Structure 1
Amino acid sequence: MSQAKRRIDHLVLAVRDLDAAGLFYERLGFQVGARNRHPWGTENRIVQFQSSFLELITVGDASLIPPHSPGHFSFGAFVRDYLAKREGLAMLVLDSGDSKADARLFAERGIGRFEPFFFERKGRRPDGSETHVAFTLAFAVDPGVPNASFFVCQQHYPDAFWNPVFQQHPNGATNVGSVRVEAADPISHAAFLRAFTDGEREADAPVFALRNHGQIEIATQASQGGLTDFSVHVPDVAAVAIRLEEAGIPYVARASAITVAAVDCFGVNLHFKTTS
């Protein structure tokens, strides 16, 4: 198994009630950031780790969402349409050092012909003072997995975004570990992921290893398909189990992992795992 050049940048978790989801993730033991608003109608709250983050997202003002158009992927429209069907893990995002170049690369590889998408917004430092962050996104699509979207994200002011204060979580979580995608045709989706992750093109690879101990797992579609599971690294799963019991959150313990099922976790299976 060869390691791709990219790492998991973040996961986009679509929820219908952003405040309820934020409260739930706090009960899980995460530090959840304040609400942010996008000019295209979505709103988010962020759970930041050492080199990745979770983006809890909802639709705030549907009237602001632009439609999809030739060559333009509408982030807001995808989230809106996803939430019309379900809640859950809607988008997998890897890092990028040059999203414009990646957009050209995705077009050459036949996995996305979309213009790069630049946006910026104000942010808050831990002391409450204002800061400025900006991003450029390059999208890729696998038609065989319609319930998921994939893109890479270039951060233009990373020092204004990443902050150790935001990365301290009561449950000890340090990073996103793995993501599971279910596809009707896993072999075809593996070819897509080889192009998307920039990993070596190993035939029928069930797992793509990423930088910073991350990985993407491919499985045969069991239900709706798409991105169904993710894990976070924690130092002590036993301590997580105690926290969940105290919070009244159901879980299943298996070996060195604790799982909160999708039915209890806004549509996605969440695994707490110890780092190996």
Structure 2
Amino acid sequence: MSASLPPRQARPVDHLVLPAASLDVARGRLHRLGFTVAPTGEHPFGTVNVCAYLADGTFLEALAIGQRETCEQAAITGNVFVARDQAYRFRQGDEGFSALVMGTENAKGDHAAFVEAGVSAGNILDFSRPFVTPDGKHDKAAFRLAFAADLRAPDVFFFTCERVNVPAVDRSALQRHENGALAIRDVILSETNPTDFQYLMQEIVNEREVNAHSFGMDIRAANANIAVLTPAGLEAFLGAKAPPLGERGLRLQGIVFAVRDLAYVERLLSGNGVAFEKRGARIVVQPAAGQGAIFAFEA
């Protein structure tokens, strides 16, 4: 009798990449949505970002082009992160939701696993960048990334992120948000036939258990739910239209945040002039300039 496969340990969601045309616009939009936004970060390969950090260890990364020539050279020399960002912007424009990033303590092992599974998107990327807190303290953050993708889904990519050096700074001020956001509860993708991508999502999350249902499928990461919904499911849960029927492939669509007080979020958004709708126990905000994904809030 052959030995049974060892149990997998699901990876946690680390962060979500939201391409933006302008960091100033993204910063302003996130602020109106009630998020505290960190100072601008600069990557050594030409991209720049602003991030909103949550108390559960996850964060949102609004990503823009800082130095176009540097980005183009990095893509030519094999930087998968920049190349995929450029491909996304070419196909979908400068605003959107391009990457789901999972946490890891072993990016090299993930890369080997992705290669073996046939889902690797290219070489590992090691890099570091300065980190500055709102009160001006400096440190350096270092990362190692392992990439995965599927040629059938050109408008989304995945990577695991190993935090090789975590800045020795107090992030608590950055993790306190006016909207009371505490954690990412769900990451929502869409696809006409979600189970066509079951194998890919199992490899990304490192989880074999899949909950298939009439609206799609769910895979549980260590700290959040990953849902791949049909067009009907996307409309039912978030009031959003999926891409036209003939456009197959995974698309990252929405983020559900856990908040302390839903009534307070409603008052905050109203006061800041942010349009929203109530759908059951959720408040849903459709994408806008500087906000490339659907944002939903629930208590």
- In 1, Cα distance between equivalents of 2:287 and 2:68: 26
Determine if the alignment matches structure 1 residue 63 to structure 2 residue 69. yes
Whole-Å separation in 2 of the counterparts to 1:78 and 1:68: 8
Give SS of 2:291's match. coil
Aligned to 2:298: 273
Aligned partner of 1:259 in structure 2 is 284
Q: Match of 1:34? A: 39
142, 157, 164: which one aligns with 2:150? 142
C-alpha contact (below 8 Å) 2:181/2:259 kept by paired residues: yes
| TM-score relative to the length of structure 2 | 0.84
In structure 2, runs of 5+ residues without a counterpart are: 1-6, 232-241
1:82 to 79, 84, 88: 88
- Number of aligned residue pairs: give it: 271
**What does residue 153 of structure 1 align with?**
161
Q: Secondary structure at the match of 1:164?
A: coil
The answer to whether 1:242 aligns with 2:267 is yes
Where does the alignment leave 5 or more consecutive residues of structure 1 unmatched?
none
The structure-2 alpha-carbon separation of the partners of 1:99 and 1:21, relative to structure 1 and needing over 3 Å to count, comes to same
Distance in 2 of aligned mates of 1:240 and 1:128: 30
- Residues 200-258 of structure 1 show CA distances to partners (whole Å, capped at 9, x for unaligned) of 1548570011112x011012363065101111110111110100100111000122210
Q: CA deviation at 1:188?
A: 2.1
2:235 corresponds in structure 1 to: none
Any idea what SS the aligned residue of 1:243 has? helix
* Aligned with 2:60 (options 54, 63, 72): 54
Which of residues 19, 24, 29 is equivalent to 2:24? 19
Matches within 5 A, 1:83-232: 83-84=89-90, 85-86=92-93, 87-112=95-120, 114-158=122-166, 160=168, 163-202=171-210, 204=212, 206-212=217-223, 214-220=224-230, 222-223=242-243, 225-232=250-257
Give yes or no for contact 1:179–1:216 (8 Å, CA) kept in 2: yes
Q: Which has the larger radius of gyration?
A: 2
SS of equivalent to 1:114: coil
Q: Which amino acid aligns with 2:44?
A: P
How far off is 1:36 after superposition?
A: 1.1
Q: Which amino acid aligns with 1:18?
A: L
Contact 1:59 1:76 in 2 (8 A): no
TM-aligned CA deviation for residue 83 of structure 1: 2.4
Counterpart AA for 2:65 = V
Supply the RMSD in Å over aligned alpha carbons.
2.2
Letter in 2 for 1:53: F
Paired letter, 2:271: E
